[in-house]
Amino acid sequence: MNRAIFADRGARHQISLGYTLPFSGVNYFTANYSALQLVPLGKIFTIMFNGQVNYSQAAGNTTSVPPYLNAYAGGPTSVRGFQESYLGPRDSRGYPYGGNLLTVLQTELLLPMPEKWRNSARFSLFFDIGNVFSTENVKFTGTADGTNPDATIPVNYNFSFSALKQSTGVAVQWLAPLGIFRFSYAIPLNAKNADGVHYKDQKEAFQCSVGQAF
């Protein structure tokens, strides 16, 4: 990276692997990878790729990873335009359950800023794609009309390319004394309504968060 904050060129890759001790009562392994790549387009524009893949899997006699290891998708740090944590598996009452496989890619076109704001603000156009899935032996049930908590229709949350959610919009990052404020306005491109089994996708066009810059 050429700068610690609001870099416009460079790359960062992080990978982590984990496995429980052999004598543990619950056995599983985890693998996480994240990448940030900034590619200059001439002297004015920069395209940024921010991707993440998280995977966890039960091992031995353990049937599924502990729920606290589940990943969640939707919201400012994954697929903007969808309500935070509400993508992917849901329990029988429609609340987020999370999954053991997360895949997200945020692509942003960084627009030129005036010199006096270049180190304190960033404006971009973005396209997000991703979701969270459950590939383990976890049984989920849907609802007859998307709202009935007493129905017990089996639901499959295995990975598929058609299940990857997409959104596009505009984003602003601003360096304030309290940290980096991030604002976005997104339009979900393939949000779905309840289909008789699945709950409808929860949309949220305007989102904001406080944290570190990408």
Return the sign of the alpha-carbon dihedral for residues 89, 66, 14, 16. negative
**Alpha carbon distance 37, 48 (integer Å):** 6
Confidence (pLDDT) at 43: 85
Q: pLDDT 10s per residue in the chain (214 long)?
A: 777 778 888 999 999 999 998 788 899 999 999 999 999 998 889 999 999 999 999 998 888 899 999 999 999 999 999 999 999 999 888 899 999 999 999 999 999 988 887 788 899 999 999 999 999 988 888 875 555 555 678 899 999 999 999 999 999 999 888 888 999 999 999 999 988 788 899 999 999 988 765 5
AA identity, residue 31: A
The whole-model pTM stands at 0.91
Confidence (pLDDT) at 150: 59
